[in-house]
Homo-oligomer: A and B are copies of this chain.
Amino acid sequence: MEKKSIVHHVFFWLKDPESVADRNALISGIRKLADIETVKNLSVGIAAETEMRDVIDNSWNVAELMYFDNLNAQAVYQAHPLHLEFIDQCSHLWSKVLVYDMEEV
């Protein structure tokens, strides 16, 4: 049986969506979160160019997707110094954050 995870998917809207430098800075910042020991399978993305439909939200600029073994592992991540450092160093880049936490069933 496959192990069930907590999936943490976070969408960021940049203050300056036209700035490639800001986008790259945010992407680099997110990648460092992989060093947190409870983070599994970190990936970073941008809005895909799938066919546009009215149910799709592609207004965001950068997203992070990561998996955790359980809720405790996610809580460890939230309070981890590397996560707080990421917020400290990168939060000036975004105007909005939206988080979806999914428990696989």
Contact = CB atoms under 8 A, between A and B. Distances in A.
A49 B65 contact: no
A48 B103 contact: yes
Contacts of A7: 43, 45, 48, 65
A101 interface: yes
A101 B58 contact: yes
A50 to B, nearest CB: 4
Interface string A3-14: 000111101000
A98 B57 contact: yes
Interface of A: 6-9, 11, 27, 43-51, 53, 55-58, 60, 63, 65, 71, 74-75, 78, 97-105
8 contacts: A7-B48, A9-B9, A11-B100, A45-B104, A55-B98, A55-B99, A57-B98, A58-B101
Given A50-B74, A58-B101, 8 more contacts: A9-B9, A43-B104, A45-B102, A46-B103, A48-B101, A53-B99, A55-B97, A60-B100
